[in-house]
């Protein structure tokens, strides 16, 4: 086989491997589209929470804001009912509320793989500089 064909075959294999890896990584997320949310600010504790609901009005997650540094937060987990619990420092509350108020569509992605990659965010790519 000539060098050009060998390079082409390698490129195809690299692209195929990258696609498989992306699919495998995406499979580690349990994703829920968020339709509505409910916010609570608790008196005397400094804690806040945001309940997240899907399009069928099922609660799928709760974001819990604690008055601690990020390094002291518990890891995200799913409780026995399958509710995803994600923890944030209280200092992140304003940016998360801003995300919920101003972006759409929003998803909750619970990471089933190793590490702690659970998050909420936009479901689609956005144009840079769209003027928000």
Sequence spans of domains, the chain: 29-122
- What is the pLDDT at residue 108? 95
Is 6 a residue whose pLDDT tops 70?
Answer: no
Is 20 a residue whose pLDDT tops 50?
Answer: no
Residue pointed to by tokens 């919920």 = 100
Average pLDDT of 2-8?
Answer: 56
CATH classification of 29-122 is 2.40.50, yes or no?
Answer: yes
Q: Cβ-count burial of 86 within 10 angstroms (0-12 exposed, 13-18 middle, 19+ buried)?
A: buried
Residue 61: which pLDDT band, with cuts at 50, 70 and 90? very high
């Amino acid at each position: 086989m000539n060098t050009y064909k060998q390079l082409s075959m390698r490129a195809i294999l690299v692209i195929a491997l990258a696609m498989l890896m992306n699919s495998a990584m995406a499979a580690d997320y349990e994703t829920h589209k968020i339709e509505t949310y409910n916010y609570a600010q608790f008196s005397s504790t400094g804690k806040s929470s945001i309940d997240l609901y899907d399009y069928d009005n099922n609660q799928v997650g709760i974001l819990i804001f604690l008055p601690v540094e990020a390094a002291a937060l518990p890891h995200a987990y799913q409780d026995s009912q399958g509710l995803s619990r994600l923890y944030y420092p209280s200092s992140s509350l304003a940016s998360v509320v801003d995300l919920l108020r101003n972006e759409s569509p929003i998803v909750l992605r619970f990471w089933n793989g190793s590490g702690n990659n659970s998050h909420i965010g936009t479901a689609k790519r956005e144009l840079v500089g769209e003027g928000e």
